Amino acid sequence: MKIRKITEKLAESVLFSSSTVTTVAVLFIIYFLFKSGIGLFNVSPLEDGYTLGIHRKNPVKELKSKQIKDIFNGDITNWKDVGGKDMDIVLFTLDELQSAYTEEQLGADFENIPACINDYVSKNEGVFAFFESRYIDTNFSGSRIDVSNVSLSEFLNGREWYPTSAPVAQFGVLPLILGTLLVSFMAILFAIPIGLITAIYMAEIASDRMRNVMKPVIELLAGIPSIVYGFFGLVVLVPTIQKVFNLPVGETALAGSIILAIMALPTIITIAEDSIRSTPVSLKEASLALGASHWQSLSRVVLPYAKSGIMAAFILGIGRAIGETMAVLMVTGNAAIMPSSILEPVRTIPATIAGELGEAPFGGTHFKALFALGIILFVITFIFNSLVELLKSKK
């Protein structure tokens, strides 16, 4: 008697601790995600350890990161376009230093670099210099340009994603958010009807032989690595879409959503079918006995009974679609532009994180921006799941 009690207690504590560990691990990951991501808004998009300097007489004090990008890109060439005097902008980086001064002037151990930079900046009134902060001369004659921190609205409303652009990176995620929503939404649109129809067919209509063939085949789909789907998409689906719609380029949001729909199908079909089949036979028989046809009992009795299971199937399938990375990375073209139709390339959030996190300097601005993207993805999924829960509880 006593031993049984102890075993029960022991089992209880094992159950308790494993679920606690899981919850804590999930919370820890969320904490890590938010901690790394929110750090983005405390840093300047200016490359770490670098300074932007201008001539002392130049009235410009502060520039937006987009203006700086346009200047270094050659799109803005006159100071009057950014609120200064009417004079040409002379760009200056360490590379120009090597052509403007001889090795001797720079010094054998480059000890004269600060003096040379100072010299160059003081001689050119239109100069816009970009150099490492440690080369600032003790009596630097120019003034420094401040770059404001990345703001939340800039981040969410920005339309340009150039995370490695020098001297200032551009972190505008709007095209990425819209790209993710577009691809996922289209995938859901394809996957849910097809998944539901197939599940109903397999559970209610298909003969046992047919079912025994179809079910394993569909379940097999779930075991294929996503990179295989991606490659299939790139060499088969992409050229087909290009031909069918007569497009200049086949890597489109449509290709991504079709691949995602195919990947979400096994989850949706398997779970939906199981829940349809778990409807008690007595319910169905009662419906048939009352004179309802097969279709009537299916739509009025069986499906309403299996509703919550079908909903769960949708949520799990959609979850897979929104977070899927590799396959989408390969077929959507990854151009960070505002999507205007499903027949254009898009860049999704998971593809961006996967493509860039490996090379982003640990703890740097780019790294933090990618975690901030992770937060956005988390919030999207969270909102979506809550919506479905809400719908479920209302009905």
For another protein, the binding residues (CB under 8 A) are 69, 72-74, 94, 109-110, 132, 160-166, 175, 227, 234-235, 238-239, 242, 248-251, 329-330, 333-337, 345, 347, 355-356, 358-360
Q: Kindly tell me which of 91 and 292 has the beta carbon lying closer to another protein.
A: 91
Q: Kindly tell me which of 38 and 357 has the beta carbon lying closer to another protein.
A: 357
Least distance (Å) from another protein to the CB of residue 268?
28
Write down how long the chain is: 395
119 burial via Cβ count (<10 Å: 0-12, 13-18, 19+): middle
Least distance (Å) from another protein to the CB of residue 95?
8
Least distance (Å) from another protein to the CB of residue 159?
8
Least distance (Å) from another protein to the CB of residue 98?
8
Q: Which residues, 6+ apart, have CB-to-CB distance to 146 below 8 Å?
A: 61, 62, 63
Least distance (Å) from another protein to the CB of residue 32?
22
Least distance (Å) from another protein to the CB of residue 315?
29
List b or e across 290-315, with b for residues whose CB sees 16 or more CB atoms inside 10 angstroms: eebeeeebbeebbbebbeebbbbbbb
- Does residue 84 sit in helix, strand or coil? coil
Instruction: Tell me the longest C-alpha to C-alpha distance in the chain.
Output: 102
Q: Kindly tell me which of 163 and 374 has the beta carbon lying closer to another protein.
A: 163
Distance (Å, whole) CA 328 – CA 281? 42
Phi-psi region of 246 (alpha: psi -120 to 50; beta: other; left: phi over 0): left
Q: Kindly tell me which of 110 and 245 has the beta carbon lying closer to another protein.
A: 110
Q: How many CB atoms lie within 10 A of CB 356?
A: 17
Q: Kindly tell me which of 161 and 314 has the beta carbon lying closer to another protein.
A: 161
Q: Kindly tell me which of 51 and 279 has the beta carbon lying closer to another protein.
A: 51
